[in-house]
Amino acid sequence: MPLLAAQSGGGPGSFMPLLMIVLLFVVMYFMMIRPQQKRRREAEQMQSSIGPGDEVVTIGGLYGTVTSVDDETVMLEVAPGVQTRYARPAIARVTKTAERVESVPEEVDAKE
């Protein structure tokens, strides 16, 4: 009869492996997946805010100054008179942001 008692014991020990697997996935999410998503969002935001005059570095290590921006591409001046075209995701980081002057509407005096 001792064999029969051992087989019917499905107590709290049988959920332990399942709990360990769930815990492993939770740890992987917070240690790997979530930080990677945050870095991806920050990179997309940086790439969408690039404008003319910004000094950038490409993923290949090329330094250049942005001369024009399109929806999908960025024109960089890598040397005086030398311009190259890159895809936006090829920009790794912005080293110096150009000072952009926001146009303020001038007040128009109504002179009669």
CATH number at residue 56: 2.30.30
Nearest to 84 by CA among 102, 109, 63, 108: 63
pLDDT, tens digit, 9 for 90 and up, residues 73-91? 999 999 999 999 999 999 9
Structural domain for 48, as ranges: 13-96
Mean pLDDT in residue range 52-76: 94
**Structural domain count, the chain:** 1
Band of the pLDDT at 98, cuts 50, 70, 90?
confident
pTM over 0.75: no
Name the CA radius of gyration of the chain, rounded: 29
CA distance 88 to 70: 9
The answer to whether residue 51 sits within a structural domain is yes
The answer to whether residue 84 sits within a structural domain is yes
